[in-house]
Structure 1
């Protein structure tokens, strides 16, 4: 045998009989590979390449994609294997709508006959109420596959209104209105107006969904009410101290919050925090079926476990009243004060009593002017456990100077990041909601305006990655209020993923400059610049957001998830109509060192469904940074001179 033949045999013994194939790789290896795919389009194309890959992706692939790309969102649990693909579709479309400002707005306004009735009860006089009532709103939903049951409840003066909708694939299958008239129960307009409202989203009775409606009023009345149909508004529990001692007075309810896992309710008056047991340990669901009492029987007042007087804190500077309150966990409560040199306090619940502390190093962030006092208008705990080194103790606070501040309670710094609207830098925010660590929305304290901010954390998903490459910049170029240079990247027409090089369009699409925050100017009543009094969303994956104004409720729905088939019911308490808004892009949202940096007027864009009639190819309009309803023919001038 020749040496050449021997060498050939030796080489053959060292070679693989068959090249490695993706569809024959172990499942754990496949899932690692899938975790690097950043678009749903890539996952879908890979699933079509073989039967084995289709089976693996159907069972585990979509779950891996959702958890990697939307890791900061609170996802529903449990989710069946068959529902992960639908959830991926839902979340990717929602992310695209948020980025492109693809919104649909509806306004709920008090029906004319009810408005006239309210005016008759409030004849001009000493106790009359001549301004529209503040709308305080909350919402709860249950998601099962492609079916969602949503209940939105709002307080309008002394009254309660609820709207329950059952939707399948965004098509409304049923709609039910409920109304609880405060006057029929002895409540009066103004004095007994609803100041705080919350649907208890309890885990004690998952088959019930929501265990009741907690309502606080300006008169100090605080009750847990039933949400079931015939018993809607019926009192289940009444929280009020029976003693008349100064330390336990409850003359008003400024705000409240609950921590259902520890069965605690914290209610704030102007200078006191009262801690109540939220429910009996044996439990009582909000449907009223577990309560053995007559329908007309008034529940006995429940006494607070402890009362803490903020004004008694030794060394605490003057403050006018408690403005906001939130549980951070089962032992820490954040309290926002009005007109104080230390407007942010933390109360720690211990077996020996309540201890108070201020935000660390906060003095360095406040004005040195002794007459300048700060106010914390809104508090929002943030779940930071999903981010790197996150411990779950983070809070977002809105201040009267127009800033919104993020603080990680584990760090010694007073604030870890400060956000600011570059167009209206000194306008404060009344209410806050967040969507994981992706974005948060604030309601203006001076006008019907929603301020949408990006947290500027690393994005797990970006819809632009699924669009074709290009050698041009994203259109149209933004016009930020501050003079900001446009970013520059290499002129490359195609991405080279092997070398880690992006085309010009994909590289610039990732830049903060081309992903500015925005202000949404909501429809307002004639002659009224009412602020946003409350904001509510059902969950991080909900496609609707509700804003309570003065006398009206505004619904923001993401465009691809906007409902269809709305059928008005007979004699509804509120009318319902579609509305258009104006949008202004407001820059990257970082805090300004000097508000004089905001020196130019951004472009105002008005929503119009007629803009979709422009005869530009869909392949071009999809590459526009904004939704079709906000596009202008001049935006395409570089492509179509």
Structure 2
């Protein structure tokens, strides 16, 4: 392919390229696997340059990263988008991350605790998304307060922080804590749907001069505006797990909101922008028809297209359920129609009474999948379900080496390439590869080498490979051949450094092409940025700003990473494995020489 790039630069080709129609030029681009080849094509003539800049780069991006959701990227120039996607892919593959931890400033020492303040750190709830023309918005709940970061579209745009104190809108610590959060844009500006421990749900404006303005309130099922006013001064009594809003999900295509409260799933139509109160349009109690010994608490709900919804439940024999949205309401199969849970009991995940929990679920694909769903189970497995098949799962993933039975509290999915799981029992983040074919490999654009990418995994027991110094036809050089193999692309666990913060409570990202994701632990929110160690300067580490009343800095403790082998497996092949790991690798952020040949970020090397 390098010879093709060279030939395109010849003067004899310029005239012929100028005579080709645009569609044919774009078809040529589909056969160029590397960005460098497209750049060479762009330099052959003004005609080719205009086509590449106008449509070629975005065609390359869609072809190389087909499973990522690229909606909201229209404001990015094609070259910038391609550069960002290829750089982020390199960071993911090399496990190149930089960490910034946001924490509230300690109150002044006065000898007594602030009235109304909690004695333990908050448990953050985080939401994120693209709003407007591709602007990034991330929001989190810190107790009863709401914190937002708005970043206008552009690689160098400054962050705009805002904070809404809960007490300023009548919310108290504890009972008024934020327990669910969704970012949405209905066309009138960015909003956050905030669910609280007291069962309240309200839309709040979260950008611009109207930040903090209280919008429409979503009423509980069967509650009218009149009954709401009658009960507004009374505190709702009940178990906190039954009263609190545990999760919310917005579907932009049909403008529906799904809310989870106890065992109840409720849908709201947000098409009406003018009404002060919004009443529910559908409701279903997951405890309906179930055994008396089940609580069936809803952990999460995700839309699967316009007409289907998936629900994750705890303390039940049916922890993963799929429903249909009909004009008359929500329809779920009865207990007798639901497949038996025993096939799900792969490694003893069910208790003595056959009950278990699914802690988190996420759709898989480019944001429009109606059949693929990833679920995190209590036995430490992550199961990929395809509703088009009769099987309860089509692929399974787990840590097969270190914390085999440690379940996850939250999930993030990036197309069909990888997913991130937040640890339920410790402050760690696991990164798994779905092990699907990759259209783009960053290493393919690097020079040929007759050596394997260092460090060489000690658990590589594959048949011998004839060393080659250069790629020739269908035969790749040693470096490019080995770089594509799964054994050189191990799943990893990131240890967040501070063991005192407990487990991970939330994960969030603004988009599939965001340069960072967010991890919520007790009393802190950590931004995990994708950045090569060679590109991180002292200014990058110190120049982050924080919202009022907060500070930002390095996480306390040592950031480290372990390689965990390949977590993808099917039931028949699962086993505990000791794969000869390279050990725990501590991250060291000091200036170092750039070396693209290493398969891991240079921050993990001495």
> With structure 1 as the length reference, what TM-score do the two structures score?
0.80
Q: 1:283-294 to 2 correspondence within 5 Å?
A: 283=273
Q: 1:195 to 1:502 in 2, by over 3 A?
A: same
Q: 1:46 to 1:302 in 2, by over 3 A?
A: closer
Q: 1:432 to 1:316 in 2, by over 3 A?
A: farther
Q: CA deviation at 1:394?
A: 1.2
Q: CA deviation at 1:108?
A: 0.4
Asked if 1:583 is matched to 2:561, the reply is yes
Asked if 1:437 is matched to 2:416, the reply is yes
Asked if 1:53 is matched to 2:45, the reply is no
Q: Which has the larger radius of gyration?
A: 1
Q: What is aligned with 2:165?
A: 181
Q: 1:311-350 to 2 correspondence within 5 Å?
A: 311-313=287-289, 318-350=294-326
Q: CA deviation at 1:111?
A: 1.1
Q: 1:375 aligns with which of 334, 350, 357?
A: 357
SS state of the match for residue 236, structure 1? strand
SS state of the match for residue 42, structure 1? helix
- CA distance in 1 between partners of 2:132 and 2:213 (Å): 27
Asked if 1:531 is matched to 2:525, the reply is no
User: Are the aligned partners of 1:258 and 1:278 in contact in 2 as well (CA < 8 Å)?
Assistant: no
Q: 1:190-209 to 2 correspondence within 5 Å?
A: 190-202=174-186, 204-205=187-188, 208=189
Q: 1:254 aligns with which of 246, 260, 263?
A: 246
Q: 1:606 to 1:115 in 2, by over 3 A?
A: farther
- CA distance in 2 between partners of 1:314 and 1:401 (Å): 23
Question: CA-to-partner distance for each residue in 1:95-114, whole Å, 9 max, x for gaps?
Answer: 11111111111010111138
Q: What is aligned with 1:492?
A: 468
Q: CA deviation at 1:443?
A: 0.8
Q: What is aligned with 1:94?
A: 88
- CA distance in 1 between partners of 2:42 and 2:150 (Å): 38
Q: 1:427 to 1:576 in 2, by over 3 A?
A: same
Q: What is aligned with 1:519?
A: 493
User: Are the aligned partners of 2:282 and 2:330 in contact in 1 as well (CA < 8 Å)?
Assistant: no
- CA distance in 1 between partners of 2:62 and 2:507 (Å): 27
> With structure 2 as the length reference, what TM-score do the two structures score?
0.84
User: Are the aligned partners of 1:360 and 1:412 in contact in 2 as well (CA < 8 Å)?
Assistant: no
Q: What is aligned with 1:8?
A: none
Asked if 1:225 is matched to 2:204, the reply is yes
Asked if 1:75 is matched to 2:70, the reply is yes
Q: 2:384 aligns with which of 406, 409, 428?
A: 406
- CA distance in 1 between partners of 2:576 and 2:112 (Å): 46
Q: 1:41 to 1:360 in 2, by over 3 A?
A: farther
- CA distance in 1 between partners of 2:180 and 2:542 (Å): 29
- CA distance in 2 between partners of 1:166 and 1:214 (Å): 21
Q: CA deviation at 1:227?
A: 1.6
Q: 1:156-167 to 2 correspondence within 5 Å?
A: 156-166=142-152
Q: 1:139 aligns with which of 116, 128, 134?
A: 128
- CA distance in 2 between partners of 1:270 and 1:117 (Å): 39
- CA distance in 1 between partners of 2:386 and 2:331 (Å): 20
Q: CA deviation at 1:229?
A: 4.7
Q: 1:115 to 1:198 in 2, by over 3 A?
A: farther
Greater Cα offset, 433-442 or 106-115: 106-115
SS state of the match for residue 254, structure 1? strand
- CA distance in 1 between partners of 2:112 and 2:150 (Å): 24
Q: What is aligned with 1:13?
A: none
User: Are the aligned partners of 1:23 and 1:53 in contact in 2 as well (CA < 8 Å)?
Assistant: yes
SS state of the match for residue 261, structure 1? coil
- CA distance in 1 between partners of 2:397 and 2:78 (Å): 34
Q: 1:461-610 to 2 correspondence within 5 Å?
A: 461-479=440-458, 485-486=461-462, 488-497=464-473, 500-524=474-498, 528-559=500-531, 564=540, 572-579=548-555, 581-591=559-569, 593-594=573-574, 596-598=576-578, 602-610=582-590
User: Are the aligned partners of 2:256 and 2:268 in contact in 1 as well (CA < 8 Å)?
Assistant: yes
Q: 1:150 aligns with which of 132, 136, 148?
A: 136
- CA distance in 2 between partners of 1:419 and 1:115 (Å): 48
Question: CA-to-partner distance for each residue in 1:484-533, whole Å, 9 max, x for gaps?
Answer: 62453222211112xx1111111111100001111111132xx6141111
User: Are the aligned partners of 2:68 and 2:366 in contact in 1 as well (CA < 8 Å)?
Assistant: no
SS state of the match for residue 91, structure 1? helix
User: Are the aligned partners of 2:471 and 2:477 in contact in 1 as well (CA < 8 Å)?
Assistant: yes
Asked if 1:274 is matched to 2:252, the reply is no
Q: 1:408 to 1:596 in 2, by over 3 A?
A: closer
Q: 1:233 to 1:365 in 2, by over 3 A?
A: same
User: Are the aligned partners of 2:201 and 2:218 in contact in 1 as well (CA < 8 Å)?
Assistant: yes
- CA distance in 1 between partners of 2:434 and 2:112 (Å): 42
Question: CA-to-partner distance for each residue in 1:125-152, whole Å, 9 max, x for gaps?
Answer: xxxx4321101112234586xxx74332
**RMSD in angstroms over aligned alpha carbons?**
3.2
- CA distance in 2 between partners of 1:191 and 1:236 (Å): 21
Return 5+ residue gaps in structure 2 as ranges. 1-11, 229-236
Q: CA deviation at 1:91?
A: 0.7
- CA distance in 2 between partners of 1:493 and 1:439 (Å): 31
- CA distance in 2 between partners of 1:302 and 1:466 (Å): 54
Return 5+ residue gaps in structure 1 as ranges. 1-17, 124-128, 285-290, 292-298, 633-641
- CA distance in 2 between partners of 1:477 and 1:405 (Å): 30
Q: What is aligned with 2:8?
A: none
User: Are the aligned partners of 2:323 and 2:332 in contact in 1 as well (CA < 8 Å)?
Assistant: yes
- CA distance in 2 between partners of 1:465 and 1:278 (Å): 47
- CA distance in 1 between partners of 2:166 and 2:294 (Å): 36
Q: CA deviation at 1:168?
A: 4.5
Q: What is aligned with 2:233?
A: none
User: Are the aligned partners of 2:283 and 2:329 in contact in 1 as well (CA < 8 Å)?
Assistant: no
Q: 1:488 to 1:565 in 2, by over 3 A?
A: closer
Q: CA deviation at 1:464?
A: 0.3
- CA distance in 1 between partners of 2:169 and 2:53 (Å): 54
- CA distance in 2 between partners of 1:417 and 1:114 (Å): 52
